Structure 1
Amino acid sequence: MQTALRTAEMALQMSDPVIAALIEQYGPCKLYAANSLIHKPHFHVLTWAIINQQLSVASARSIENKLCMLMASDTFELDSLREVDHQQLADCGLSKQKIRYLYALCDAIDSGKLNLEQLSSMENQPIFETLSALPGIGPWTVDMFLMFSLGRLDVLPLGDLALRKSIEHHYQLPPNPKRQDYHAIADRWRPYRSVSSWYLWAAVD
């Protein structure tokens, strides 16, 4: 994976001067560092993504920490989540909707409707179709899963507000840009749009 990231960095340095400058500023991409989500089980990453939907990093992290303390583990596991009741999840800061989404995820796995291990061998579009059939899992959540759990290097999560704002800033887009404006810029990053996204996020942080 690290070799693939170094290859991506070299390709992006040649294809886009804006990303090249960010690579110079932030150094090697840490998308798949030792403490990154790619080393966690698929269930953990999907749970993490559901928690993080439409929340600030700080708010989501607070919920994650409380839930980890409740489970006595730094990894979200289906059996452990099943043992936590609705009120305990609510006390961690989860909304009623997100609690319903997490239970639906557990139900899909328990029933055999969703086989997380099979996702690794599937293309992006079938994964999107499979996961988005579940309540509360939309494009942003699937993109996060593709990037952070499966290590797909060519994902463009335009559902992420911070990424869009970073693109607008670094590429000086006019007010209220259209979706095709972002794609016109991102096409030069193929097949490494995940890596460019990481650098643009780093510039926001």
Structure 2
Amino acid sequence: MWTETVITEGPYRFESVLHRLTLDPLNQIDLEANTIRIPMYVHNHKQVVTIKGVGTIEAPEFEVTSDQYKEETLNEVARIFQWNVSLKEMAKHFEATNIAKLAKDHEGTPLVLDMNPYLSLLKCIIHQQLNMSFAFTLTKRLVQTYGEEVDGVWFYPLPEKVASLAYSELRDMQFSQRKAEYVIDTSRLLAEGQLSLDELVTMNDEEIQEKLMKIRGIGQWTIQNLLLFGFGRQNLFPKADIGIQNAIKKHFNLDQKPTYEQMDELSKGWSPYLSYASLYLWRSLETKQ
């Protein structure tokens, strides 16, 4: 067992991170201890990693604890929690935009990624066209039936496991027939090597979109959310997302949900950090922390 202290640039609101991650019932979070325990595969070894915030917003500091592969684990934790991204630079960028106050309210809030790209893709497919509560319920059922619990932390099943399932098994969990097909068929593409997430990571956004749009059950919303929360791309604006539309309507006091054309006009000046503008908009609808 090892523990390493990591110091990163402020501002960084770890408490805000934890509060947002409590939306997912599978996440193991202790708000009082300022701690999250996450599942991680390193060299095909399942290990639980504990991240504890011990610093302040302006001087962020973390204690990372696990059992093996220290260097690889620290690199992956830094990727997931975006410790190498300058949130100070983002704050400065948004000062002169029409969401300056919103950005100030959520200054230091990072775009935290899903624990791995497959987990992210699976969640995106399950969540599409469902309300958040039921989507999390379906995901929890899938993971707790076919995943594995290690020291109280749930590991998502690997593509090979999901690929082996029958559609009826997911139907029994209240997946629709189509969603069951999308989840299992996409997992089969990965398990059989017809689709590689490692390869996708090396592509630009347009190349990824072109490749994934050919897959049944994967559309624009799913791709954009994968790019955001799977790959950490910084300049994405998921205009089809209902939460984004509602947040813009609220922030700009619009009479009705904005059109895509209005959203394009209002978002001028947010680039190259559209992803962070999207995050701040989502946060504006959630419990403020």
Q: TM-score, normalised by structure 2?
A: 0.64
Q: Distance in 2 between matches of 1:115 and 1:138?
A: 18
Per the alignment, residue 266 of structure 2 pairs with 185
1:47 partnered with 2:122: yes
For 1:54 and 1:143, locate their aligned partners in 2 and report how far apart those are by CA, in whole Å. Answer: 14
- Structure 1 distance, partners of 2:261, 2:192, is 39
Q: Does 1:175 align with 2:256?
A: yes
Aligned length: 198
Which one has the bigger strand percentage? 2
Is structure 2 residue 214 aligned with structure 1 residue 139?
A: no
Shift in alpha-carbon separation, 1:108–1:4, aligned structure 2, 3 A: same
Following superposition, the deviation at residue 27 of structure 1 comes to 4.0
Give how far 1:25 is off. 2.6
For residue 30 of structure 1, what is the amino acid of its counterpart?
P
Change over 3 Å in CA distance of 1:9–1:94 after alignment to 2 = farther
1:126 maps to amino acid: E
Aligned in 2, Cα 1:95/1:203: closer, same or farther, shift over 3 Å?
same
Q: Secondary structure at the match of 1:189?
A: coil
Offset from partner CA, 1:43-70 (integer Å, 9 cap, x none): 2111100000011111111111111110
Conserved 8 A contact 2:159-2:188: no
Distance 1:83 1:111 in 2: 11
- TM-aligned CA deviation for residue 82 of structure 1: 2.7
Unaligned runs of 5+ in 2: 1-81, 149-154
Q: Contact 2:182/2:216 (CA < 8 Å) preserved in 1?
A: yes
Is the contact between residue 163 and residue 185 of structure 2 (CA under 8 Å) also seen in structure 1? no
Structure 1 residue 24: Cα displacement? 3.2
The offset of 1:174, in angstroms, is 4.3
For residue 2 of structure 1, the aligned residue among 80, 83, 88 is 83
Letter in 2 for 1:200: L
Question: In the alignment, which residue of structure 2 is the partner of 1:11?
Answer: 93
Higher RCO structure, 1 or 2 (CA under 8 Å, sep 6+): 1
Identity %: 24
Instruction: Give the aligned residue type for 2:93.
Output: A
Distance in 2, matches of 1:176 and 1:102, equals: 31
Identify if the C-alpha distance between structure 1 residues 193 and 98 changes in structure 2 by more than 3 Å, giving closer, same or farther.
Answer: same
Structure 1 counterpart of 2:230, one-letter code: S
TM-score by length of 1: 0.88
CA distance in 1, matches of 2:157, 2:226: 15
